[in-house]
Amino acid sequence: MVETLAALMTADEFFTMSFPDGRAELIQGEVFQMSPAGGEHGTLAMRLGGRLFAYVETHKLGEVCAAETGFIIARNPDTVRAPDTAFISNERLTGVTRPKKFWPFAPDLAVEVVSPGDTAEEIEQKVKDWFSGGTRLVWIAYPSSQTIHIYHSAISVQILQKGDVLTGDDVVPGFSCAVADIFV
């Protein structure tokens, strides 16, 4: 569940804020504070992110960002989303230095792990936001059903179960991981 905290603000104003009791995202200029993630959420995010990081580093494909890394995916009003894991390809990084503030664009891959309080509408909105911002692939991990939903667009979804293999398609070429290895 999210809670609105303030009136419209910019990504730069949002960057200077502090949230000692949790984390937050900026959605169309409004701050939404969220509770910190639980143990199951954090473990699954790390299992996915760790495997992705190791593969990307080994093959020198780009950058993998940890949870809470902000990406500006819309302007006027500003939207800053923070996926549980993100991948940015070398192609997108060409001529870009690693920012001290938020990344000024959407990642190529956004990975979200669903928390117990997340609603279907909130997840659907996140998927839409990622694609409207320029993300090419979204993985949504559902701990309760032990499935990973792969979005190639906001309306094209493939559902993977424990017997399936998660791949990076053309976004993270060559990456693969057994879904069962994530939901151990």
Closest to 99 in 3D by CA, of 173, 10, 8, 11: 11
pLDDT at 32: 83
Query: Domain residues of the chain, as ranges?
Result: 38-182
pLDDT of residue 2: 52
Q: pLDDT tens digit string along 35-50? A: 778 889 999 999 999 9
Q: How many residues are there in the chain?
A: 184
Question: 7 pLDDT band (50/70/90 cuts)?
Answer: low
**What confidence tens digit (pLDDT) does each residue in 115-140 have?**
988 999 999 999 999 999 999 999 99
Decide the pairing of beta strands 137-142 and 109-113: parallel
- The domain made up of 38-182 has a fold known as tt1808, chain A (3.90.1570)
| 5 pLDDT above the threshold of 60 | no
